[in-house]
Amino acid sequence: MGGRRERREKARFDVVAKATLYTQVAAAAAASVRAVCETNSWCDEADIELTQVPEICIGLTLGLFAGGLWKMHQWNEQRKTRAFYDMLEKGEISVVAAEE
């Protein structure tokens, strides 16, 4: 049971690390866009307000985080399916009910 618990803790750590990374990337992107908007006039021409930049970055961060969670779920299901077919191929399990 210790191995399973360690894998779960590692998976939780990976999710937190990815969320932290996405947040840092979004903050850096917001800071760079804010700096560019303050020095150039393209924000005025594009009708982008500085208050919209953090909203866009938060949306991107949440989208990337949700996509990462979905991908992790998909990989987990793929692993289960692959394990099932490997066991079926080795003859460890059968899909036909055993006769009594």
- Residues 37-96: pLDDT tens digits? 666 665 555 566 667 778 888 889 999 999 999 999 999 999 999 999 999 999 998 888
Q: What is the pTM of this model?
A: 0.47
Counting Cα atoms < 13 Å in the Cβ hemisphere of 9 gives 6
Q: What is the helix (H) or strand (E) element at residue 37, kind and residue range?
A: helix 2-39
How far is residue 43 from each of residues 29, 31, 61, measured CA to CA in Å? 15, 14, 22
